[in-house]
Chain A
């Protein structure tokens, strides 16, 4: 059975649609198809729809709303994260937390909002031929996005104890530290950003740009996986898709076809290159230079309750060591700990593990993130696809990144002891427990090859640049170098990592590019 479903032929307003409700074999059509509904896709969709284009957004994840956000790890991690929260690199060396829902990772991130540092764009211009985007140009776009998302700085008094000890400890060491800006409105500081905001206070794409897009007439089709883009005559003709079944993960067997004049890929640093590869558009720099801001963390035991599960989860950051000359830069932040995250982050098993878990109310969790991709020797990871078509991330963490992270652990340990911690622990192979500031030098003996790493920031994989041999899309409008009706608008275009949490960098770039696309397409 095949049924063509024209978009806006009847001028009806837009809607959120579950792919499972559409007939098998249906064909959808639009002016512009946006693949992915996270930071890049949502902003792009809203701006293009407002400019008069018929926009159809395809999202593999489900459309979940605040009633679904139960503040429970057993319910919301499988619902809202890639691979049910268990995504990892090929050698299992880095666990990757990445969202999978209408709204993408913005539904589950911890709201930290930074503009891209100016020196990052300068580096990209000098080393990666990003010649058509000036950092200054982004300012008005960040202004607009910040207003729409109510991005505001957190007063120190509103930080929770988990963040406050990091702030106080860094201050005591004489290191730069500040409260962050967050995209929230009416936040009750419950502490559950990572499980979807139960009160719609987080100004994620789910409650801002996607409703904006739909209000202007766009359609968002959820649980719709793009299997491949079909290229004919140098242009994308259609997307072939599978509806995802009731379990939220496996294909139901229902197939959909989507046709459009233009396609925008916004499936993120792993999704976008994997779709290109499945579509026969791999090779060159596709799936190359993937960066993760590799992270190691500490768990520190305090005499007074910390309650790392309550309060705004991330409201303090230090960039004191972001620029370390030839060495890998670092930045420091707090991380929330609910029981499941604590169980995973705390090494050991049996009685020892239980003993640590019983300290949860008194534990403080902090992370150091490595700013990867700026040194000429750092090529980052790669994205490929498995036999089933599923993505595979291969990222072998360079020794220089590991060395930097070990330095960062020392800073976190010193900061926590300065803030009054009784013990600071990290690692699993082996687990190291430090009892005082005098123990910190023991970290120098820790085998960097055995650090336990994770990531919540996937960047690169489809880098932008004006040299087609060294990039996938051009910086002028993020158009694919050879496929004329294909653009990539998400964090995959970044040539390196950022040194800050990525969401606002993506919002600003997407907003800038939407304006350019509208101007170009209407001329």
Chain B
């Protein structure tokens, strides 16, 4: 996709949200199955609920906790530039939005209201989209949630990664 097409489609997505805001489909409230346990730093509660719902499908390894993952991403977003933070929030809204879902994928319900199987189909639709902006959006959500899980020690056993070695430096009293 060339640059102009990308921008046009990005704008289209924004327009869709704006227009959709005036009709019920786009304002269907987010199902807040997942609620943050700690104070949110960058996201609001609906955005957090969407993000955690996504994490529940992108990371299905044993012990993966969507709330913990989403809280880590929230922390990461608190370090991001204001514009990046704002764009991420819009991406979550677009991903959740029922009107956008209807237009793009033929699903007329918010992402958080779908069954796990239907949520997987939404993720796959974004991944396999002809629109680069949707593939990029999927990539951001996938990578952030999976990175937030697999960076931490509790994820390591399932991967076979033994963790860092114990290094003993000459002159040091204890191993690192």
Contact = CB atoms under 8 A, between A and B. Distances in A.
Interface of A: 70-74, 77-78, 83-86, 91-93, 188, 190, 192, 198-199, 247-250, 309-310, 338-340, 342-344, 349-351, 353-354, 357-358, 360-361, 386-388, 390, 392, 396, 428-430, 449-450, 452
A71 B161 CA distance: 13
B159 A360 contact: yes
B132 to A, nearest CB: 7
Contacts of A361: 159-161
Contact of A84 (B60, B80, B133, B176): B80
B153 interface: yes
B158 interface: yes
Instruction: Give 10 nearest A-B pairs by CB, closest first.
Output: A71-B164, A74-B151, A343-B150, A340-B151, A390-B81, A249-B79, A92-B136, A73-B151, A339-B150, A343-B146
Interface in B26-54: none
A250 B147 contact: no
11 contacts: A72-B153, A310-B165, A339-B161, A349-B59, A354-B59, A357-B61, A357-B158, A358-B158, A361-B159, A390-B83, A396-B3
Contact of B155 (A77, A188, A339, A396): A339
A18 B2 CA distance: 45
B82 A77 contact: no
Nearest to A431: B127
Contacts of A351: 60
Contacts of A310: 165
Given A357-B61, A390-B81, A390-B83, 8 more contacts: A91-B132, A192-B164, A248-B79, A249-B78, A309-B161, A339-B159, A353-B60, A361-B161
A234 to B, nearest CB: 32
A349 B167 contact: no
| B interface, size bucket | 35 or more
Contacts of B149: 343
A429 B146 CA distance: 17
Contact of A342 (B78, B82, B152, B159): B159
Contacts of B132: 91, 93, 449
Contacts of B146: 343-344, 349, 353
A350 B120 contact: yes
B145 to A, nearest CB: 9
A86 B128 contact: no
Nearest to B41: A247
B113 interface: no
A428 B127 CA distance: 8
Contacts of B123: 349
B100 to A, nearest CB: 18
Contacts of B144: 86
A430 to B, nearest CB: 7
A234 B158 CA distance: 61
Contacts of B58: 349-350, 353
Contacts of B165: 71, 190, 310
B78 A247 contact: yes
A449 B151 CA distance: 29
Interface of B: 1-3, 6, 57-61, 72, 76, 78-84, 120, 123, 127-128, 132-133, 135-137, 139-140, 142-144, 146-147, 149-153, 155-156, 158-161, 164-165, 167, 169, 176
Contacts of A354: 59-61, 158
A86 B159 CA distance: 23
Given A342-B159, A349-B57, A357-B150, A452 B139 contact: yes
B126 to A, nearest CB: 10
Most buried by A among B120, B137, B152: B152
Contacts of A92: 136-137, 139-140
Contacts of A452: 139
B78 A340 contact: no
A429 B140 contact: no
B165 to A, nearest CB: 6
A250 B135 contact: no
Contacts of A199: 167, 169, 176
B147 A343 contact: yes
Given A349-B142, A351-B60, A353-B58, A93 B150 contact: no
Contacts of B83: 386-388, 390, 392
B159 A344 contact: no
B155 to A, nearest CB: 6
Contacts of B137: 92
A388 B156 contact: no
Contact of B167 (A190, A248, A344, A357): A190
Contacts of B57: 349-350
B61 to A, nearest CB: 5
Contact of A93 (B60, B76, B136, B158): B136
B137 to A, nearest CB: 8
Nearest to A95: B143
A339 B156 contact: yes
A339 B79 contact: no
Nearest to B56: A350
A199 B167 CA distance: 8
A453 to B, nearest CB: 11
B139 to A, nearest CB: 7
A86 B150 contact: no
Given A349-B142, A450-B135, A72 B151 contact: yes
Contacts of A84: 76, 79-80
Contacts of A360: 159-161
